[in-house]
Structure 1
Amino acid sequence: MIPEAEVFLLADQAAMHVLTRIPGERLDTLLPPVFDMPGADRPTPLREVVAHLAYDEAWIPDLLAGRSMDEVGKDAYDGDLLGDDPAGNLTRLGEAARAAARTVTDREAPVHCSYGVCATWDYFWQLNVARTLTAHDVAAHLGLGSPLSEELSRRMYDGSVPLAPRWREIGVFREPVPVAGDASWRTRYLALTGRRA
């Protein structure tokens, strides 16, 4: 398994830990924007956040197997993937995505994303950033502690430092927040993304 896939296992579990525990009565509350990218820079109902992650998870096994969306069928995972059991269905999709991630051994294998082709390591890093920041922001929105462990945060920090200028330029990261030299890895990673722990 490649290192980026190892991080994905941790990041995906952190996201699942939070998103499968959202109380039903909170699903219609609005989450402030996680990213500042065009189209994502608006408050979003938590139900839509969970549905988007479910859609993302559903595609992972196909994309990691080298299939394109055209081959699978662009509408293969359209519709309601959550049904009457959002937590259970999201858990099932997550388990399949993580199982697929465990089989990946080629960092440079092409992944056919909706916007074009990228290397597998880059695809994983996009997934990892999306999951960690969504998990953290949803937990903060619900008044829960951050689900980002020190191990996950350290690996996210180390992997994100060289990519941070690119992420900042397109609105995934915000301007960094200063931190103390002895700050935890979680604080450092969140500060790199423009968040306070």
Structure 2
Amino acid sequence: MKQKELFLQADAALRSVIDRITADQLNEPAPTDWAVTPNPTLRDVLAAHARDEAWLPDVLRGRTIEETGDSYDGDLLGDDPIGVYDRLNDLATAAVRTELDPEKVVHLSYGDFSVREYLEHVSIYRAFQAWSIARQLGCDYELPAGLVVSLEEIIGPQIDGFRAMGVFPAEVPVPDGADRETRLLGRVGYWVPPRDGAK
């Protein structure tokens, strides 16, 4: 299942960026549309990603929100935010590496979808957050080439449909001769000119 590999690539990309966040940076403000918390910090964004990782094994098992209950409510990060996220990431990775039926129906807060569709949804979230968080931190970062190819192949034909559902903002123009990553980021509406005038 191509969606499984896409997820593993996107999840690894996000982890590689999150693992760069320092304790001091966790208190820095984050864009308001990255979290439901008013005036979010990067810690709030990390908490949302940790919760998303924590939910994933239960979702793949077919459990509903009602069945899971309040297992993932409250502060999951504790005194070791990055370490907790990494452990939850390990569990999510292990769950996706198991034998999965791509057409099995799973239950999300916004409806029921196949495992294949679910993995596409959460891969979008992880991949473009990896790029966005890295840019927010001022990191020298590019999405891995293999992830860009997978996103183009699996998500590319669906971009307009996802945009109609409000997943992606409007497409943005990119410079002539832009590389593959930049063209993809432009298509999904995330690309912005770098601060230093480079790529």
Q: TM-score, normalised by structure 2?
A: 0.87
Amino acid aligned to 2:89: G
1:168 to partner: Cα distance: 1.3
Moved more, 109-118 or 49-58: 109-118
Equivalence for 1:59 = 55
1:34 to partner: Cα distance: 5.7
Q: 2:123 aligns with which of 118, 125, 128?
A: 128
1:188 to partner: Cα distance: 2.2
Equivalence for 1:72 = 68
Amino acid aligned to 2:143: L
Say whether residues 1:99 and 2:94 are aligned partners: yes
- Runs of 4+ aligned residues of structure 1 deviating over 6 Å after TM superposition are none
Equivalence for 1:113 = 108
Return the structure number with greater relative CO, CA threshold 8 A, min gap 6. Answer: 1
1:51 to partner: Cα distance: 0.0
Deviation digits for residues 8-59 of structure 1 (CA, Å, limit 9, x no counterpart):
1110111111113211112122222567xxx86x863111100000000001
Amino acid aligned to 1:169: A
Structure 1 stretches lacking a partner, 5+ long: none
Measure the CA separation in 1 of the matches of 2:175 and 2:138: 24
Structure 2 stretches lacking a partner, 5+ long: 192-198
Equivalence for 1:148 = 143
1:109 to partner: Cα distance: 0.7
1:180 to partner: Cα distance: 6.3
Q: Secondary structure at the match of 1:55?
A: helix
Give the RMSD, CA atoms, in angstroms: 2.2
Aligned residues: 192
Measure the CA separation in 2 of the matches of 1:189 and 1:33: 24
CA gap of 1:34–1:9, structure 2 versus 1, over 3 A, is farther
Deviation digits for residues 96-146 of structure 1 (CA, Å, limit 9, x no counterpart):
001101114321111111122111111111111110111111100111023
Measure the CA separation in 2 of the matches of 1:108 and 1:91: 28
1:178 to partner: Cα distance: 3.4
Measure the CA separation in 2 of the matches of 1:195 and 1:19: 19
Say whether residues 1:13 and 2:5 are aligned partners: no
CA gap of 1:171–1:28, structure 2 versus 1, over 3 A, is farther
Measure the CA separation in 1 of the matches of 2:142 and 2:106: 28
Equivalence for 1:44 = 40
Moved more, 145-154 or 54-63: 145-154
Q: TM-score, normalised by structure 1?
A: 0.88
Report % sequence identity. Answer: 39
